[in-house]
Amino acid sequence: MMSDGCRFRRSLRALAAALLVTLSPPVAAAGAAPEAFNPGAHAIDIPAWFRETFLDFREDIRDAAKDGKRLMVYFGQDGCPYCRELMRVNFAQKDIAERARRRFDAIALNIWGDREVTWTDGRTMSEKALAARLKVQYTPTLLFFDEGGAVVLRLNGYYPPHKFRAALDYVAGKEERKTAFSAYLQRHAREPASGRLHDQPFFLKAPLALDRTRRPAARPLAVLFEQKECSTCDELHREGFGTPAVRALIGKFDVARLELFGTERLVTPHGASLSAAQWGRELKVAYTPTIVFFDAKGTEVFRIEAYLKPFHLASGLDYVASGAYRTQPSFQRYIQARAEKIRAAGGRVDLW
């Protein structure tokens, strides 16, 4: 419990930070951002219980710990449909909002923003420089810190409510000291689903020999991890793989499908003989479905590890298949350029 003096000093810092924000340019307009996802990009409304601070994470982590909380840092951008979903759907659910408010101090950053932040190592930089340094490829991205300043969980993209609720409980309960997030999610994020793995004609046949160390492959490799009790896996097969643009792009890959906690044996791109579960743990796969992409020599180059609608799924496939990841390190800027190209050709971009 904080002393009255500590609470008073924290209140003064919060007031000063709020005044600074009031006198500064709007966060949404800061930085050299692309025109978001469309010309009429909507602003993302951040809940009022998110904190305004001087963005010195060392201090923010200490303040949270004094209140028996942990720090949650959100990276977002205006025009992002997944950020909107997080705010309007996840945080609109009373139990999720109460969990977050009671157990975390939450801070919002703009991946294109110019506000100065101080990272846990004491280095100062802009919001957008920090996002680049941390290789934030998806919005929303959320970082959860322990009391010592270590990131104990990172969510790269949008998690539907039942999985997001489990993530909050995992960090708030300090479960990282006991179990991997993937195992915790399997036990605590049960959901109505088909109860089966869906087959696709483009899946490689077992036994999977994915070794690329002896000679480079002709095509990049996409490895899909999923589970039987997984509604988002059902949706991927029904809507994602059912979209013509996705089907056209998936043909440019060798595609392997594995059950995340399965016993199936395979040879990995690096030549190791492992079970699906062992490889999933080695790759730190938690969310299903996750797609991990490897180049012709077996090096991981990108991954999709959160909920995506067909346009963004196709964009991820195209990002790897075209080799754009080699010259454009920002997936967000790649998405924007791809959307503009489609619109310029008279096509329609359906973000959600």
Looking at residue 122, which CATH number applies to its domain?
3.40.30.10
Which residue, 153, 188, 223, sits at the end of a domain?
188
Q: Is 104 contained in some domain? A: yes
Q: Is 252 contained in some domain? A: yes
Given pLDDT bands bounded at 50, 70 and 90, which one contains residue 191?
A: confident
Q: Cα separation of 341 and 315, whole Å? A: 12
Q: Are residues 164 and 253 in the same domain?
A: no
Nearest to 245 by CA among 191, 312, 148: 312
pLDDT of residue 1: 47
Q: Cα separation of 105 and 310, whole Å? A: 33
Q: Are residues 139 and 247 in the same domain?
A: no
Residue 115 · residue 26 · CB < 8 Å? no
Nearest to 181 by CA among 158, 193, 163: 163
Other beta carbons within 10 Å of 350: 9
Q: Residue 348 burial (CB < 10 Å; 0-12/13-18/19+)?
A: exposed
Q: For 118-132, how does the pLDDT look when each residue is reduced to its tens digit (9 = 90+)?
A: 999 999 999 999 999
Q: Is 135 contained in some domain? A: yes
Q: Are residues 41 and 86 in the same domain?
A: yes
Q: Are residues 340 and 253 in the same domain?
A: yes
Which residue, 126, 159, 188, sits at the end of a domain?
188
Q: Are residues 22 and 167 in the same domain?
A: yes
Listed as own residue / partner, the contacts of 6-12 with beta carbons closer than 8 Å and 24 or more positions apart are 6/66, 10/63, 10/66
Between residues 9 and 160, the one the model is more confident about? 160
Q: Is 14 contained in some domain? A: yes
Q: Are residues 167 and 220 in the same domain?
A: no
Q: Is 349 contained in some domain? A: no
Angle, alpha carbons 204-207-212 (nearest 5°): 70
Q: Residue 180 burial (CB < 10 Å; 0-12/13-18/19+)?
A: middle
Q: Is 201 contained in some domain? A: no
pLDDT of residue 21: 44
pLDDT of residue 25: 44
228: domain range? 208-344
Between residues 82 and 11, the one the model is more confident about? 82
13-27, 40-54, 192-206: least confident range = 13-27
Q: Which residue has the tokens 């303040």?
A: 63
Residue 4 · residue 12 · CB < 8 Å? no
Residue 308 per-residue DSSP state: -
> Which amino acid is it at 77?
Q
pLDDT of residue 192: 87
Q: Are residues 80 and 144 in the same domain?
A: yes
> Which amino acid is it at 195?
G
Given a cut of 60, whether residue 44 has pLDDT beyond it is: yes
Q: Are residues 338 and 257 in the same domain?
A: yes
Other beta carbons within 10 Å of 116: 14
Q: Are residues 14 and 100 in the same domain?
A: yes
Given a cut of 90, whether residue 109 has pLDDT beyond it is: yes
Q: Which residues contact 289 (CB under 8 A, 6 or more apart)?
A: 224, 225, 226, 230, 232, 233, 236, 304
Question: Domain tally for the chain?
Answer: 2
Given a cut of 70, whether residue 35 has pLDDT beyond it is: no
Given a cut of 80, whether residue 291 has pLDDT beyond it is: yes
Q: What is the pTM of this model?
A: 0.89
Which residue, 140, 160, 188, sits at the end of a domain?
188
> Which amino acid is it at 187?
R
315: its two tokens: 């964009």
Q: Residue 342 burial (CB < 10 Å; 0-12/13-18/19+)?
A: middle
Q: Residue 184 burial (CB < 10 Å; 0-12/13-18/19+)?
A: buried
- The mean predicted confidence, pLDDT, of the chain is 91
Residue 77 · residue 120 · CB < 8 Å? no
Q: Are residues 184 and 224 in the same domain?
A: no
Q: Are residues 16 and 132 in the same domain?
A: yes
Q: Is 351 contained in some domain? A: no
Peptide bond into 207 cis (omega under 30): yes
Given a cut of 60, whether residue 97 has pLDDT beyond it is: yes
Q: Is 20 contained in some domain? A: yes
pLDDT of residue 27: 42
pLDDT of residue 42: 66
Q: Are residues 46 and 162 in the same domain?
A: yes
